[in-house]
Amino acid sequence: MRAVAMRAHGGPEVVEILEVPEPTAGPGQALVRVKAAALNHLDVWVRQGWPGLSLHFPHVFGSDVAGVVAAIGSGVEGWKVGDEVVVNPALGCGRCERCLGGAENLCRHFAILGEHVPGGQAEWLVVPARNLCAKPGRLTFEEAAAVPLTFMTAWHALVVRAALRPGETILIHAAGSGVGVAAVQIARLLGARVIATAGSPAKLEKARALGADEGIDYERQDFLAEVKRLTGRRGVDVVFEHVGKKTWEKSLLAAGIGGRIVTVGATTGHDPLTDLRHVFFRQLSVLGSTMGTAADLLQVLAFVERGTLRPVIDRVLPLADARAAQGLLADRAQFGKIVLTP
């Protein structure tokens, strides 16, 4: 089958369309005919690699998949050939106390489709049947593929970890990114006042259309000064952080006394300075959050089915344009998700 893959870590040039073996469904698994696969910035990180990431090459990219069940392995119940599905990209062992308790993102063997194991930017994908979710009927396959990773991440970070409450004020960085688009909508759904940052007036206008109350152009404005102005110097209750080194120090200062900073990523670097005096004196909570649980995804999909939350697609490209698509992500040239179709 054709797949977007790499044979070694490196720059954009390592992204290729390769012929790799077509997978087959084993016990407890399902074979999915991929109809659409969305990109995430995670694809760029995986391509570049980092110490400790050990992959079997060629490695297939892609965490977000929507498609049709083509075959099921022995022992699978509740699914049949022809079912339209969205794939949950969070992979726990399924056996440990945390997985059985519904906290599979805390499993010691936790993996993400397309990061630690081969992904779904291909014609076919095999996953554990427990990772299948019914595709919302109102969505196209392209729209459905734009939901899982970013909405799960934002939901778990804001609802579970930061416990964002109605009436609170939240600062959401890079609102034009996939996870930013999801966070703005979820924060609005929870009844918060949303201050969003983005890199252009056009992106800020789109963020406001999704529910942001205020916008800060981080290319032309100091986001910390603007947060102080917009909050009467009080600061925000929650900061949604995924930018990392470039914004971290000012994110701590943007939080008010007793504020929470929830971090889900570090696009610009993982090693920022942290002035601990601000953390203990102002009693800040720094919360880490990775992906989400199957329950988080089911809750998200329920709101998506009602139209309360919606995936935002920047563009749809053929599988053959995967290298160019990664370039658009790296250059922050999109608003929302880029989706590939086989």
With b meaning 16 or more CB within 10 Å and e meaning fewer, what string describes 301-326? bebbeeeebbbbbbebbebebbbebb
Per the prediction, the chain carries an average pLDDT of 97
The CATH homologous superfamily of the domain defined by 151-288: Medium-chain alcohol dehydrogenases, catalytic domain (3.90.180.10)
CB atoms within 10 A of CB 228: 17
pLDDT score of 195:
98
Write out pLDDT tens, residues 116-160.
999 999 999 999 999 999 999 999 999 999 999 999 999 999 999
> By the 8 A CB rule, do 327 and 13 touch?
no
111 three-class SS: strand
For the chain, the structural domain boundaries read 2-147+311-341, 151-288
**Which CATH class for the 2-147+311-341 domain?**
alpha beta
**Separation of alpha carbons 103 and 96, rounded Å:** 10
pTM of the complete model: 0.96
How far apart are alpha carbons 106 and 215 in whole angstroms? 34
d(C-alpha 261, C-alpha 251), whole Å: 8
User: Which residue bears the tokens 């790296």?
Assistant: 330
Is the bond leading into 58 cis (omega within 30 degrees of zero)?
Answer: yes
Q: What is the DSSP string of 136-193?
A: PTTS-HHHHHTSHHHHHHHHIIIIIIS---TT-EEEES-TTSHHHHHHHHHHHHTT-E
108 pLDDT band, cuts 50/70/90, is very high
- pLDDT for the residue 100: 95
Q: How far is CA 242 from CA 29, 64, 71, 204, 279, in A?
A: 33, 19, 38, 18, 18
Tell me the residue type at 122: A
State the pLDDT at residue 33.
Answer: 98
Q: What is the pLDDT of residues 223-263, one digit of tens each?
A: 999 999 999 999 999 999 999 999 999 999 999 999 999 99
CA atoms within 13 A on the CB side of 151: 32
Q: Enumerate residues 6+ apart whose C-beta is below 8 A from 205.
A: 215
Gap between the Cα atoms of 182 and 101, Å rounded: 26
Looking at residue 215, what is its pLDDT?
A: 98
Q: How many CB atoms lie within 10 A of CB 337?
A: 27
pLDDT, tens only, 25-42: 999 999 999 999 999 999
How many residues belong to the chain? 342
Would 2-147+311-341 and 151-288 be classified into the same CATH topology?
A: yes
